[in-house]
Homo-oligomer: A and B are copies of this chain.
């Protein structure tokens, strides 16, 4: 398997540290990226044989990679029937975002209760970078920092199981983001929202922090849902 398979243009330069990880993980990574970037559209069939040929590996690791992604919720598999990229309807979007809100709220509670005041500095840093990118009009970079912000926030909750569930949700969120039609969000407003959350966390105002996180998620949900077109 050599890179630049599965997709003609640029792909898979990052994460070269995978060099001698098990093949299944590398393949899973390739497929995951393809799905999250929207190169593999929902409903697209993933047949083991075809993928194995394209990637020039045997079916075994491809098969395992597909299973991995199935467990991550990015792929639907049916015994003896094959696998397809999972399709997302409005209900799926609502479910993902509602649970996202739930878990972020939980994280906020734990952060306010717990100590770890220095970890908040990381969040502030991310906010600053986000604002700089917003000034530069680099929406892509803003999104990247956005994701980093929330992941770091979850980490600060110091809860392994929460983090692992969050990781799954986060994948789904990314898939949704890659599919939504329009992304008309004011980057400066986004950056400001995050600053407000950090401030509330820092001053340990639980209610305020919860309110702001919920607003933030609600806002994102609304934006995505509004522009959503179901695969009907």
Contact stretch, chosen from A35-43, A45-53, A145-153, A156-164: A156-164
Number of interface residues of A (CB under 8 A): 26
A103 / chain B contacts, CB cutoff of 8 Å: 102
Would you call A9 an interface residue if the criterion is a C-beta within 8 Å of the partner chain's C-beta atoms?
A: no
Q: Which of A74-99 contact B (CB under 8 A)?
A: 79-80, 91-92, 95-96, 98-99
A164 / chain B contacts, CB cutoff of 8 Å: 73
- Complex Cα gap A213–B48 (Å): 45
Would you call A144 an interface residue if the criterion is a C-beta within 8 Å of the partner chain's C-beta atoms?
A: no
Whether B95 pairs with A160 at a CB distance below 8 angstroms is yes
Whether A96 pairs with B22 at a CB distance below 8 angstroms is no
- Complex Cα gap A95–B160 (Å): 8
Whether B162 pairs with A95 at a CB distance below 8 angstroms is yes
Whether A21 pairs with B79 at a CB distance below 8 angstroms is yes
| Contact among B25, B60, B96, B102 with A102 in the assembled complex (CB-CB below 8 Å) | B102
A73 / chain B contacts, CB cutoff of 8 Å: 164
Would you call A67 an interface residue if the criterion is a C-beta within 8 Å of the partner chain's C-beta atoms?
A: yes
Whether A106 pairs with B102 at a CB distance below 8 angstroms is yes
- Minimum distance in angstroms from A90 CB to a CB of chain B: 13
A180 / chain B contacts, CB cutoff of 8 Å: none
Which residue of the partner chain B has the closest CB to A60?
B60
Whether A161 pairs with B99 at a CB distance below 8 angstroms is yes
- Complex Cα gap A162–B79 (Å): 24
| A160-182 near B? 1/0 per residue, CB < 8 Å | 11101100000000000000000
Would you call A140 an interface residue if the criterion is a C-beta within 8 Å of the partner chain's C-beta atoms?
A: no
| Contact among B67, B80, B95, B159 with A98 in the assembled complex (CB-CB below 8 Å) | B159
Residues of A within 8 A of B (CB): 21-22, 25, 60, 64, 67-68, 71, 73, 79-80, 91-92, 95-96, 98-99, 102-103, 106, 159-162, 164-165
Q: What are 12 A-B contacts with C-beta separation under 8 Å?
A: A60-B60, A64-B64, A67-B67, A73-B164, A92-B160, A95-B159, A95-B160, A95-B161, A96-B161, A98-B159, A99-B161, A165-B165
